Chains A and B, each alone.
Chain A
Amino acid sequence: GAGVSQSPSNKVTEKGKDVELRCDPISGHTALYWYRQRLGQGLEFLIYFQGNSAPDKSGLPSDRFSAERTGESVSTLTIQRTQQEDSAVYLCASSLVPAGGPETQYFGPGTRLLVL
């Protein structure tokens, strides 16, 4: 497909377990973003990757959260020792123009995480 894909679409886990969320950006998009959307709230920026530059991790809420991206391909967001407050929809977006101009971000459908 031509769009951003994410997996799994839904994830239910127990408190304390680790989870890994995956994002496949649109081919050729140099920039990749992760956001978190809690119920009834706006999108909260988590992390930004641009090409081979060091990622901007300033939005990660705690050291339990980490993300990786190899080159301009797949990214994984890992949450260790999950807590109930981690329950949210995790959205990934990619874009062609990395910064500066008002480029369009293309969003994936999200992964809905529920921590019991």
Chain B
Amino acid sequence: GDSVTQMEGPVTLSEEAFLTINCTYTATGYPSLFWYVQYPGEGLQLLLKATKADDKGSNKGFEATYRKETTSFHLEKGSVQVSDSAVYFCALRNTGGFKTIFGAGTRLFVKA
């Protein structure tokens, strides 16, 4: 079945460091891919999404490119801030479906 695998955390970085959180997926068909973020004490919220191969989703300085050849959707940010500390979830949903499959989440700590 469909699945999402993302790098284990926690990831600890200093402010202004470069961030990569790896995400790979297994799916039949052509899924849409998402990154959700959960800030401390808040609900999950959509960070960015991509609906087809080679699409790049971006928001708040974060980017992720839908790579069909490597079945990946890695999250990147060039310069993290303390306020980026949160748990990040990679997810997919197959075309025509409603079930969203989530990865286990990666906790990011950014130190000042």
Contacts and interface: CB of A to CB of B under 8 A. Distances in A.
Mostly, the A contact residues are loop
B103 A42 contact: yes
B14 to A, nearest CB: 25
A14 interface: no
Given A102-B34, A102-B93, A45 B100 contact: yes
A65 interface: no
Contacts of B99: 45, 48, 56, 59
Q: Interface range on chain A: under 10, 10 to 19, 20 to 34, or 35 or more?
A: 20 to 34
A42 B4 contact: yes
A4 interface: yes
A105 B45 CA distance: 8
Contacts, number: 58
A31 interface: yes
A100 interface: yes
Contact of A42 (B42, B51, B105): B105
Contacts of B104: 40-42
Contacts of B44: 43, 91, 93, 107
Interface of B: 4, 32, 34, 36, 41-46, 49, 51, 89, 91, 93, 95-105
